[in-house]
DNA sequence: ATGCCGGGTCCTACCCGA
C-alpha cells in the first residue's frame, strides 16, 4: 500500500502536475496540502477520471487539505479535535480505510503574527499529540502525514537555509515533534534513511533548488504495527525540476 | 534573516509562506 503526501501550493495552479504524478506513481492514497481554495472549488473530476475518490477541506485563499484514494474511505474528522470552536483554518482531515486511520495535516508555519502565531503552532501540535494518543491507546493502525513545518534535527535543513530562530527549527517545535516519536510513532523517511539530508522543500527564492538549500518538513509518522511493515519512504526530488513546480515535492511511504 | 519567488485577493498593493 502506497500512501503519499504533497503540499501543492494551490491545487488550481498544480492540477495538471497532480494528474500526471498520479498516473506515473499510482499511490493508493494521496494527501494534499495548501490547496488554497474552498472545498466546492476543488477540481475533483480529473481525479475521478483516474479512479480516485476525493474529499477536500478548504477555505478561501489560504491553507486547505484534501485526500484522494482509490478504495472507499470514511471521513472521520474535518478539523483537529480539541481546537477551540470557531477555528476555521482548514488544516486537518482524518479518514478510515482498509482498517487504518489516515490523517493528513498542514501544520501551522508559526512565523507570522509574532508570538501569537508561534503559540498557535505549538497549541496545534499539542492537540495533534492528544489525538495521536487517543488513537494509539485504542491500538489503531495510524498514519499521520503531511506538511509538519518542522525540521526535526539539524540534518533536516541545509546550513544557512534558516536562521536558528525560525519557527521550523525552534526548540519548542522540535520538542513537540519528538513527543510524537516518544509516544511510539515512527518517522518513516528517517527510518529508511537513517543518515544525511532527505529534503522535501526548496524555496523559490535565491536559487535554493539549484544550490540544494532544502528542508525536510513533510513527514509520515507510523504507528508500531505499520512501522514493522514499512518497506520504503522516499521524497520525489524529480518533481521540483518540473515547469512551474510546487516548492514542496511528494513524499511516499510503502507499507506491506 | 529574509520576502529576491510565487501563490492568494476587496485588482493592485498587500498578506502569507518557510
Residue A66 CA neighbour count, 13 Å, CB half: 31
Bases of strand B lying below 7 A from some protein CB = 1-10, 15-18
| pLDDT digit string, tens, across residues A179-237 | 999 999 999 999 999 999 999 999 999 999 999 999 999 999 999 999 999 999 999 99
For position A198, what pLDDT does the model report?
Answer: 97
A66 versus A112: the higher-pLDDT residue is: A66
Distance A204 CA to B5 C1' (A): 5
Using CA atoms, how far apart are residues A52 and A36, in angstroms rounded to an integer? 20
| pLDDT digit string, tens, across residues A73-95 | 999 999 999 998 888 899 999 99
- The pLDDT of A36-61, averaged and rounded, is 96
Q: Where are the beta strands (DSSP E) in chain A?
A: 2-7, 29-33, 53-57, 65-69, 74-77, 92-97, 100-106, 142-147, 186-187, 201-202, 214-215, 218-222, 230-235, 251-255
For position A181, what pLDDT does the model report?
Answer: 98
Using CA atoms, how far apart are residues A248 and A250, in angstroms rounded to an integer? 7
Q: 3-class DSSP state for residue A11?
A: helix
Distance A112 CA to B13 C1' (A): 19
For position A82, what pLDDT does the model report?
Answer: 95
Which nucleotide C1' is nearest A61 CA? Answer: B8
A65 touches strand B (CB under 7 A): no
Which nucleotide C1' is nearest A168 CA? Answer: B18
**A203: Cα separation from own chain's centroid:** 17
- The pLDDT of A16-37, averaged and rounded, is 97
| pLDDT digit string, tens, across residues A92-119 | 999 999 999 999 999 999 998 888 899 9
A114 touches strand B (CB under 7 A): no
Which nucleotide C1' is nearest A160 CA? Answer: B1
Distance A63 CA to B18 C1' (A): 14
Instruction: Name every residue whose Cβ is closer than 8 Å to that of residue A216 and which is 6 or more positions away in sequence.
Output: A151, A152, A156, A157, A189, A197, A198, A199, A200, A201, A235
For position A208, what pLDDT does the model report?
Answer: 95
A164 touches strand B (CB under 7 A): no
| pLDDT digit string, tens, across residues A128-174 | 999 999 999 999 999 999 999 999 999 999 998 999 999 999 999 99
Using CA atoms, how far apart are residues A49 and A46, in angstroms rounded to an integer? 5
For position A234, what pLDDT does the model report?
Answer: 98
Using CA atoms, how far apart are residues A25 and A38, in angstroms rounded to an integer? 27
DSSP A84: P
Distance A113 CA to B11 C1' (A): 25
Which nucleotide C1' is nearest A33 CA? Answer: B17
A161 touches strand B (CB under 7 A): yes
Burial status of residue A100 (CB atoms within 10 A of its CB: 0-12, 13-18, 19 or more): buried
A211 touches strand B (CB under 7 A): no
Which nucleotide C1' is nearest A109 CA? Answer: B18
Strand partners for A101: A96, A142
pLDDT class for A255, splitting at 50, 70, 90? very high
Amino acid at each position: 500500500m502506497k500512501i503519499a503526501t504533497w503540499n501543492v501550493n494551490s491545487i488550481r495552479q498544480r492540477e495538471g502536475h497532480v494528474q500526471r504524478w498520479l498516473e506515473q506513481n499510482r499511490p493508493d492514497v494521496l494527501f494534499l496540502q495548501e490547496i488554497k481554495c474552498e472545498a466546492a472549488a476543488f477540481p475533483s473530476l480529473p481525479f475521478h477520471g483516474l479512479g480516485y475518490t476525493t474529499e477536500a477541506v478548504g477555505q478561501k485563499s489560504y491553507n486547505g487539505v484534501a485526500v484522494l484514494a482509490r478504495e472507499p474511505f470514511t471521513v472521520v474528522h474535518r478539523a483537529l479535535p480539541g481546537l477551540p470552536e470557531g477555528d476555521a483554518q482548514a488544516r486537518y482531515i482524518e479518514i478510515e480505510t482498509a482498517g487504518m486511520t489516515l490523517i493528513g495535516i498542514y501544520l501551522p508555519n508559526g512565523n507570522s503574527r509574532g508570538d501569537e502565531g508561534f503559540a498557535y503552532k505549538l497549541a496545534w501540535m499539542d492537540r495533534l499529540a492528544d489525538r495521536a494518543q487517543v488513537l494509539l491507546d485504542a491500538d489503531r493502525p495510524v498514519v499521520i502525514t503531511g506538511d509538519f513545518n518542522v525540521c526535526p534535527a539539524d540534518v533536516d535543513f541545509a546550513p544557512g537555509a534558516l536562521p536558528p530562530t525560525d519557527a521550523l527549527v525552534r526548540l519548542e517545535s522540535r520538542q513537540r515533534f519528538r513527543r510524537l516519536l516518544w509516544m511510539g510513532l515512527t518517522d518513516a523517511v528517517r527510518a529508511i534513511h537513517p543518515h544525511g539530508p532527505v529534503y522535501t522543500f526548496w524555496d523559490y527564492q535565491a536559487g535554493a533548488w539549484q544550490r540544494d538549500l532544502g528542508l525536510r518538513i513533510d513527514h509520515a509518522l507510523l504507528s508500531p504495527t505499520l512501522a514493522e511493515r514499512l518497506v520504503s519512504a522516499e521524497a520525489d526530488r524529480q518533481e521540483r525540476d518540473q515547469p512551474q513546480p510546487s516548492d514542496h515535492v511528494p513524499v511516499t511511504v510503502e507499507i506491506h
